[in-house]
A = this chain, B = another copy of it.
Amino acid sequence: MAPSDYSKPFINVSSPYPYVAVVELDRPKKLNSFTQQMFTDIGSVFSRLSVDPDVRAIILTAAGDRAFTAGLDVTAASGGHIGGDSNPGEDVARKAWALRRHIKEIQEPVSEIEKCEKPVICCMHGISYGAAIDISTCCDIRICSKDSRFSVREVAIGLAADVGTLTRLPHTQVPMSWIKDICLTAREFSAEEAMTMGFVSGVLEDKKALLQRAYDLAKEIADKSPIAVQGTKAVINYSRDHSVADGLDYIAVWNAAMLQSKDVKDAMLSGIQKRTPTFEKL
């Protein structure tokens, strides 16, 4: 089954290069804003790519020139739980229970992006609001084009971000003073500011250059041993949430198996012989 078979309405999946999958948000007329279904769908796309042996690196991008995504489609979500009044007499605690379940239901597919075993490169351009931050903080590498305009929108619509932005932004390890500034004011920030603060690790001239850079990164990663690449991702994520002592213990257990891979020898030999190694699927 090819990556393209994973496509969903408004979400295209393709594989322009061997071992590289591209996931494209494709609802440009609505600025790629998210319906609830799209949250569910993007989670299922990533959980399938996560275990597909033909995929070693993933690029996340969005169609059109104007936006990566404008965030949640408020109109489409209007019938939903948030801010609704559909059942004013309902018991507050039961409503709270339903809301908590609902939030966890949306958190789960988004977390699938973070749990994806393959590295994910997030390419942002134009309007990158709300869900753009939720989703991009689940990715491994964030780059953007010069015209990007970011915003953590939630306080502007009366709520504390709950799909992951407030939780994951501190773990991107950018300065807390700046995180508080952008989250408490909901103000827009530019590609340049995002780069200075370390939210993104690259700013490209335009969307075309952005995608080219992403392809280059993805290919560089896809050429490496998948054992090494995916192990590196897993262990960095673990270390981020644990102490140094725990991290050292974890990698020792991890590599007890992984160092027995033929990839290690193949990679070393290729290095000495100055040729590109080929690695088995994982």
Contact = CB atoms under 8 A, between A and B. Distances in A.
A198 B220 contact: no
Contacts of A84: 265
A5 B164 CA distance: 35
Contact of A232 (B91, B161, B172): B161
Interface in A38-57: 51
The oligomer's copy count stands at 6
Given A93-B263, A96-B256, A232 B155 contact: yes
A198 B175 contact: yes
A236 B158 contact: no
Interface of A is mostly: helix
Interface stretch (A15-23, A61-69, A247-255): A247-255
A156 B229 CA distance: 9
> Which among A92, A160, A241, A277 has the greatest number of chain B C-beta atoms within 10 A?
A160
A171 B239 CA distance: 8
A82 B259 contact: yes
B177 A198 contact: yes
Nearest to A167: B247
Interface in A138-152: 140-142
Given A158-B228, A174-B198, A167 B248 contact: yes
A273 interface: no
Interface residues of A, number: 115
B93 A258 contact: yes
Contacts of A282: 94, 97
18 contacts: A93-B259, A94-B282, A95-B260, A96-B256, A97-B227, A111-B248, A157-B267, A158-B265, A166-B251, A168-B244, A169-B236, A170-B236, A171-B244, A173-B174, A181-B201, A181-B217, A183-B236, A245-B245
Given A94-B227, A160-B255, A241-B244, 5 more contacts: A83-B268, A92-B260, A95-B260, A160-B228, A174-B198
Interface of A: 51, 74, 81-85, 91-97, 99-101, 103-104, 107, 111, 114, 119, 140-142, 154-162, 164, 166-181, 183-187, 197-202, 217, 220-221, 224-225, 227-236, 238-268, 271, 277, 279-282
